[in-house]
Amino acid sequence: MLVGLFGGSFNPPHEGHRLVAKIAIRSLGLDQLWWMVTPGNPLKSNRYLAPLAKRIALSEEIADDPRIRVTAFEKTLGSTYTAQVLERIRARNKRVRFVWIMGADNLRDFHRWQDWQKIARTFPIAVVDRPGATLSFLSSVMAKTFDYARIDEHDARTLGKARAPAWTFIHGPRSILSSTAIRRMNGI
């Protein structure tokens, strides 16, 4: 089974998140996508973070594809660091092949994540285009560091079988929605 792991604060989840999930499912030929709602992001302020249960419920409303499972692995596994959570998920699911899914807007700061190189050397990564981030992927530390491991978008379906490090950049429809903009519109 091939599973995409799509993590984030989803504060709040929106149509853009659903679009990234659907593009990843289609482009990578995923059997499932696990939408991983984090209790908090160590690189962001949690001051305006909605309660985890609310973000999970809203994510479940948006995730209308039966292949998408909304989870809270980070809370269950007791870690806020993606590398640790991914390591534990992989250890508990030895027969599953995983691909880490991220929006291109996160690629810009990926090198600031704890053990980011370990993530890239352990999991194939699919970077899905986001508005304003299309060109930034070329200059990101991750793209430069792992340039040799980039798989052409036309071969994205092979990513799940590739040995890490391996990554691809997937273009497609983009939503201008962002959680930050939604919070600002709501006065948060």
Asked if the peptide bond before residue 165 counts as cis, ω within 30 degrees of 0, the response is yes
pTM (whole model) above 0.85: yes
Which residue type, as a one-letter code, is found at position 141?
V
- Output the tens digit of pLDDT for each of the chain's 188 residues: 999 999 989 988 988 899 999 999 999 999 999 999 988 766 666 677 899 999 999 999 999 899 999 998 877 777 778 899 999 999 999 999 999 999 888 888 899 999 999 999 999 999 998 765 555 667 899 999 999 999 999 999 999 999 999 999 998 755 555 545 444 566 65
Identify the structural domains of the chain with CATH numbers, from first to last: 2-185 (3.40.50.620)
- For 105, phi then psi, to 5°, come to -65, -25
Report yes or no: 130 and 174 within 8 Å, Cβ to Cβ.
yes
